[in-house]
Amino acid sequence: MYSLVDTHAHLDELENLQQALDDARRNGVIAIVAVGSDYHSNIKTLEISHEYSSFVFPALGLHPWQLGELSPSQINDELEFIEQNIASAIAIGEIGLDYHKRVVKRASKEFQKEVLARLLELAKKYHKPVSLHTRYAWRDALQLVQDAGVAKAVFHWFTGFSSVLRDIINAGYFISVTPAAEYHEEHRRAAKETPMDKLLLETDCPVYYGRETKYRSDPADVTRSLGAVAQLKGVDQVTIAEQTTRNAIELFSLPIAIANSTVSVNPNSHCEPHCHCERSEAILIEEEE
Ligand SMILES: [Zn+2]
């Protein structure tokens, strides 16, 4: 059995959370990065992570889709909330740009860029990785991340051009792959072109996937992302699982460790898998079993 991390899930939007988390565990998911979209979603995401600590890790964000609804003072409140709670978050996300015409009609490109720049400033200030939505805005998003000097970023569900992808990878950033990699051409190309050490898996649940038959996703569907990447790369699933899980642990500094197929949760986020504290001894014992 492999160990997987769903690196981008909207757990606050799931209908039956407990069941979804049980299913995820049964399917080898050892950690979930739960992203927030706005004030209420951030609060709920924090609550869920608190309830399922050591399994669900929160990212706090402000999704570009929400910007059209917010006044300048509400935007300030959103940013303030994120900053006040930054110590509880492992990342800032979901944030980003969306240049689809329906989104731009409500929140101009300039406005979106202005808000994203402020969020990236927070990420830089508090040394947090960012989880980015960049639909049709790949080049601008990359530019802003680099201008802000943010060291760690993942371009989630990347479907952009190969030229931008190359620059993302050269800059040391990641892309994450959703179950859409089973059928969506641009996403499949991106997954194929990204080296293994820059790949993450995710679901973006509860997004609906599928071409003919659609299904509502939950974190267990990260196994579909895994299967798609394995098929595209021609590499076995165990290898892909191990590499992407290590990438996720490193990028988000997740306080968990993989030990062969046994996974141990380490409550001390500064503890390395092979340090000599009590927790890592527990890990070593499980390794021997
Ligand atoms: Zn999302």
| pLDDT at residue number 259 | 54
Rounded-to-integer distance, Cα 154 and Cα 173, Å: 6
**Is the separation of the CB atoms in 174 and 200 below 8 Å?**
yes
Each domain of the chain, given as residue ranges in start order, spans: 4-254, 257-289
- What is 4-254's CATH number? 3.20.20.140
Hey, what are 272's tokens?
């390395």
| pLDDT at residue number 235 | 97
Going from the Cα of 228 to the center of ligand 1, the distance in angstroms, rounded, reads 19
Rounded-to-integer distance, Cα 118 and Cα 98, Å: 16
Rounded-to-integer distance, Cα 216 and Cα 194, Å: 27
| pLDDT at residue number 258 | 73
Going from the Cα of 244 to the center of ligand 1, the distance in angstroms, rounded, reads 19
Going from the Cα of 9 to the center of ligand 1, the distance in angstroms, rounded, reads 6
**Is the separation of the CB atoms in 194 and 183 below 8 Å?**
no
Going from the Cα of 230 to the center of ligand 1, the distance in angstroms, rounded, reads 23
Going from the Cα of 236 to the center of ligand 1, the distance in angstroms, rounded, reads 27
Going from the Cα of 24 to the center of ligand 1, the distance in angstroms, rounded, reads 18
Q: At what angle do helices 109-125 and 138-148 cross, to 10 degrees?
A: 40
- If DSSP codes are grouped into helix, strand and coil, which group holds residue 280? helix
> Where do the H-state alpha helices sit in 56-184?
72-84, 101-106, 109-125, 138-148, 162-170
Rounded-to-integer distance, Cα 36 and Cα 127, Å: 18
| pLDDT at residue number 212 | 87
Q: What is the mean pLDDT of each run of 10 residues along the chain (289 residues)?
A: 95 97 98 98 98 97 95 96 98 97 96 98 98 97 98 97 98 98 98 98 97 95 98 97 98 82 41 36 32
Going from the Cα of 95 to the center of ligand 1, the distance in angstroms, rounded, reads 9
Contacts (Cβ under 8 Å, ≥6 apart) of 98: 64, 65, 104, 112, 133, 134, 135, 136, 137
**Is the separation of the CB atoms in 1 and 261 below 8 Å?**
yes
Going from the Cα of 61 to the center of ligand 1, the distance in angstroms, rounded, reads 10
Q: Global pTM?
A: 0.89
Rounded-to-integer distance, Cα 244 and Cα 6, Å: 10
| pLDDT at residue number 289 | 31
Going from the Cα of 69 to the center of ligand 1, the distance in angstroms, rounded, reads 18
Rounded-to-integer distance, Cα 169 and Cα 175, Å: 8
Contacts (Cβ under 8 Å, ≥6 apart) of 119: 61, 62, 79, 82, 92, 95, 130
Going from the Cα of 2 to the center of ligand 1, the distance in angstroms, rounded, reads 24
